[in-house]
Amino acid sequence: LALIRAIRTRASRSALRTKETAGLHLGIGDDCALLRVRSSEEIAVTTDLSIAGRHFHFDWHPPEAVGHRTLARGLSDLAAMGARPVAAFLSVGLPQELMLKAKKGATWFERYLDGFFDLAKSTGTPLAGGDLAQSPLFAADIVLFGAVRRGRALLRSGARPGHLLYVTGSLGGSAAGLIRLAAWAKENRSKFGHAKESKKKGAEAFASVRIPKKLAADLAPHLTPQPRLTVGQVLSRPGLASAAIDISDGLSSDLAHICEESRVAAEIDAALLPLHNAATLEQALHGGEDYELLFTAPPNVRVPRTIAGIPITRIGRILPLRAGRPTITLLTPQGQQPLQPSGWQHFA
């Protein structure tokens, strides 16, 4: 009960100003939350699971990053549809040791909430409810409600042959960061280790992952990806994007989703891809969790070079689907080759 009270206080503090304008009429405290969006809008809903060992590792990821990523994954789906966030609902299965205080400072779960609420605040996403239960495994289920102008949501199915293909920001930074993170965790295993391997007691083992300052910039694309909410809302204005998706599984996989839903083929030019400065071409093509937006626009549309300060890069075009031709073709200096969708194997 004390924990729920603490979360409620933080929820109301972090979203005091944004609550009403976002469309959350009644937040935590009643049997249900009440949402009021404009009559010109429709509601976008998305859910995501974050499970320990599957979506993050206790001995790799600082708890703040786990909290940030829980919310970022859902917000990125809203961004892909052109929706603005209205309210978040967070349900957590929580092992007892994550609520134990480490010698210095906060519990793992308090630090998880720090990361969650930092992003909630910066994106104007009020936490409107959820559930909490003791569990042998940490699992967080996030449900996000967004609002989008009626009939204006960006779908995966709107790409047509001749449309051009664009991406926001840079690609591969998250995959490159994950490899750095894994290497760093291996080097430092003796310092904190996984709870099972650690000689330290539970609370210390779980709460002690802190990323050194010199690594922070390299790991940021992986640990604290920024959902492209403003870009998505701009792209959903009439006469801009024709289809969109967020890059959660990797460019090759997410482009395949657009092709499948739009019944088209696509061609991307390796030389045009905006590689993150630490990333390889392979990571840019198949590395997931960049949470950039991949979108299409008709060729006559003037797509801005930046939207809300985020660079926009043209990377290819949409082609008609033809029997015997690959769905996605990659153009390289050595010629063209079929590109198989192969998402990043998270912890392989």
In the complex, the residues that contact Mg ion under the rule CB under 5 A are 77, 246, 248
The torsion angles phi and psi of 317, rounded to 5 degrees, stand at -150, 165
Question: What is the closest distance, in whole angstroms, from the C-beta atom of residue 247 to Mg ion in the complex?
Answer: 8
Question: What is the closest distance, in whole angstroms, from the C-beta atom of residue 291 to Mg ion in the complex?
Answer: 9
Task: Compare residues 246 and 290 and give the one whose CB is closer to Mg ion.
Answer: 246
Task: Compare residues 41 and 77 and give the one whose CB is closer to Mg ion.
Answer: 77
Distances from the Cα of 245 to the Cα of 51, 121, 343, angstroms? 23, 24, 15
Report the C-alpha gap between 1 and 347 in whole angstroms: 35
Amino acid residing at 115:
G
- Residue 2's Cβ-count burial label (10 Å; 0-12, 13-18, 19+) is exposed
Task: Compare residues 41 and 254 and give the one whose CB is closer to Mg ion.
Answer: 254
Of all helices (H) and strands (E), which one includes residue 36? Answer: none
Instruction: Give me 329's structure tokens.
Output: 């073709």
Task: Compare residues 18 and 226 and give the one whose CB is closer to Mg ion.
Answer: 226
Number of Cβ within a 10 Å radius of residue 160:
14
Question: What is the closest distance, in whole angstroms, from the C-beta atom of residue 246 to Mg ion in the complex?
Answer: 4
Residues in the chain: 348
Question: What is the closest distance, in whole angstroms, from the C-beta atom of residue 89 to Mg ion in the complex?
Answer: 18
Task: Compare residues 74 and 95 and give the one whose CB is closer to Mg ion.
Answer: 74
Quote the DSSP letter at residue 259: H
Question: What is the closest distance, in whole angstroms, from the C-beta atom of residue 79 to Mg ion in the complex?
Answer: 9
Question: What is the closest distance, in whole angstroms, from the C-beta atom of residue 122 to Mg ion in the complex?
Answer: 20
Task: Compare residues 125 and 248 and give the one whose CB is closer to Mg ion.
Answer: 248
Angle between helices 108-123 and 2-14 (to 10 degrees): 20
How many helical (H) and strand (E) elements, i.e. helices and strands, does the chain have? 10, 14
Task: Compare residues 218 and 254 and give the one whose CB is closer to Mg ion.
Answer: 254
- Locus of tokens 């060992």: 53
Cβ-based neighbours of 179, under 8 Å, separated by 6 or more:
none
Question: What is the closest distance, in whole angstroms, from the C-beta atom of residue 185 to Mg ion in the complex?
Answer: 27
